[in-house]
Amino acid sequence: MDDRVILRVGTKVLSPFILLFALYVQFHGDYGPGGGFQAGVIFAAVFVLYALVFGLERAMKVMPAKVAYACGALGVALYLGVGYLSMFRGGEFLNYSYLFDPEHDPTHGQHYGIIGVELGVLVTVFGVMVALFYAFAGRRRIDT
């Protein structure tokens, strides 16, 4: 792809805007369609685009496979952490009303609980999608 200047420059220019759009989808998910899964796929799509234009080896230098694996596990831990925090505060698993003191409005806890869970979903989906792409793109063709 070294001779495809427009693709290389276009990828470098558009990638930050695609990532910004993923953040918009993530944080607008409370109020409309969207959320963690969609934002995670959009985040992963940027790295897939980068790998397709610049090559898999270069993409794996930017985002090593171990980091993608760690993101998958970290997102699940964040999701579970929000659930266990609400249990430790006296509520049921993922009952966001208990995330703050009883004197606070329970909707505050619900708002921040949803953000935490959706952020966990984003990180998990991003890590898994990038790891799957690396696994399939890194396969070699076996000639028989």
Question: What is the average per-residue pLDDT within 22-47?
Answer: 86
What is the b/e burial string over 72-110, where b = at least 16 CB atoms within 10 angstroms of the residue's CB?
bebbbebbeebbebbeebebeebbbbbbbeeeeeeeebb
pLDDT by residue (tens digit) across 82-108?
A: 999 988 988 888 888 888 766 777 777
Q: What is the pTM of this model?
A: 0.86
What dihedral angle (degrees, nearest 10) is formed by the CA atoms of 67, 116, 76, 23? -40
pLDDT of residue 33: 63
pLDDT of residue 131: 95
DSSP assignment, residue 96?
G
Two structure tokens written together for 143? 């000639």
Report CA-CA distances (Å) from 27 to 15, 18, 100, 104, 119. Answer: 19, 14, 21, 23, 9
For residue 1, pLDDT beyond 60 = no
pLDDT of residue 144: 59
